[in-house]
Amino acid sequence: MLARDAADLASKFLLRSTPFYVQFQLTGRCNLRCRPCCVPQRLQGLAELPIAGIAAVAENLGRIGTTNLVLTGGEPFLRPDLPAIVEVCKRRVPHVRLQTNGLLITEENLAPCVAAGLDGLTISLDSLVPRVEEELTGRPGVLPLILEKIVLINNLFPPRRGPLAVNAILSAATCAGMRDLVGFVEGIGWSIAVVPVHVGCGSGEGFVLRQQQGRDDPGQEYPRQAGALLQDLAARKTRGAAVANSRRYLREAEPFIRTGETRWRQPWRTGWACDSPNLYFAVRPDGSFSVCHDFSFPERVDVADPGFPELFRKPEFRARVKDAAAACPGCYYGCYPEYTWMFRSPRNFFETCWGYAWSLLRPRRRRLELSRVLGCLRAG
């Protein structure tokens, strides 16, 4: 496994011609209406592929050399056939992970996914302060439920399998408590990715920072606080903390928060642009190709079609995707810029590889007790 992964990484670094990361949005439905998220609105009304169609998508993703497949939504656990989906995808793609809000997870629906070979899981958690998490998700009493699911996930996964991770939105509402959240996640043996809050440009409106998130933030106090936090996280990562973001991401997040500027998408500054579809893209619930999970492709391309691998390799198709992506002003999600940097910058490439090797040396995750985890709740 390690030798195959090393060869795959080297090939992608040298050629940048096969996807390292594909998001498969299994459904547009969600059981929450989180304020920073507009995915359910963007995917509303799209049909969902049956298991045979999903198997065809996974087959084609494997044929074009996809390394990591992230099953997401909407909320993927709204699909009662999710264990079967994991099984058919894992047969065809080396690494399969889930991205979820966690609330619908039970032992009955997660254990079969783990048994099918699920490689990791990421759960959304933005704050240890109940009021803040309720404001962001719109659901009263949600935080103890999320922590209960974290305990269940942790104890169902084999101690060495992972990563298990938290995605945390950085905003004016969450900034003050982010150090506590990072400490909690590290303490349970998981990793954390911190992502500045913004909404996507799928409808053409550009990326909009949401610095308020339900509370007043006069002047520039939030950007100053966020900048100090990001510097602290970069220093902690240098010391071996389980922060999934690269140091470059943490460094360049500060000007994005302050100005909305996405430096990685400025060719005059970096010579780089979006690497869709070569290194990453998304698949929508109906099996159609999308530039990313926010920015749609103007023509219908069926990823389940037997001819998709041949189409994917054609320079003309890639040029059309590049033209579509050029209309996007750029994002600062925790995936796309990271993978562009990883495969275009030797420094970022070796930092990521070292982080992966270091994760193998960390102590095995231990079983968690719910009472201990609930004791991490913060007042506020």
Question: pLDDT tens, 214-249?
Answer: 333 444 688 899 999 999 999 999 988 899 999 999
DSSP states of 285-320: TTSBEESSSSSB-SS--BTTSTTHHHHHT-HHHHHH
Mean pLDDT of 123-149: 96
Mean pLDDT of 251-277: 77
Assess whether pLDDT exceeds 70 at residue 266: no
From start to end of the chain, where are the E strands?
Answer: 21-25, 68-72, 95-100, 120-124, 164-170, 191-196, 198-199, 208-209, 280-283, 289-290
Characterize 150-160 residue by residue with b for buried, 16 or more Cβ atoms within 10 angstroms of its Cβ, and e for exposed.
bbbbbebbeee
Which of the residue ranges 40-49, 233-242, 312-321 would you say has the lowest mean pLDDT?
A: 40-49
Which of the residue ranges 17-26, 148-157, 209-218, 338-347 would you say has the lowest mean pLDDT?
A: 209-218
Assess whether pLDDT exceeds 70 at residue 201: no
Mean of the per-residue pLDDT values for the chain? 88
CATH number of 2-374: 3.20.20.70
DSSP states of 207-234: -EE---TTS---TTHHHHHHHHHHHHHH
Q: What is the pLDDT of residue 380?
A: 66
Indicate the residue type of 307.
Answer: G
User: What is the reported pTM?
Assistant: 0.92
Indicate the residue type of 353.
Answer: C
Sketch the domain layout of the chain as residue ranges. 2-374
Reported as a pLDDT band with limits 50, 70 and 90, residue 260 is: confident
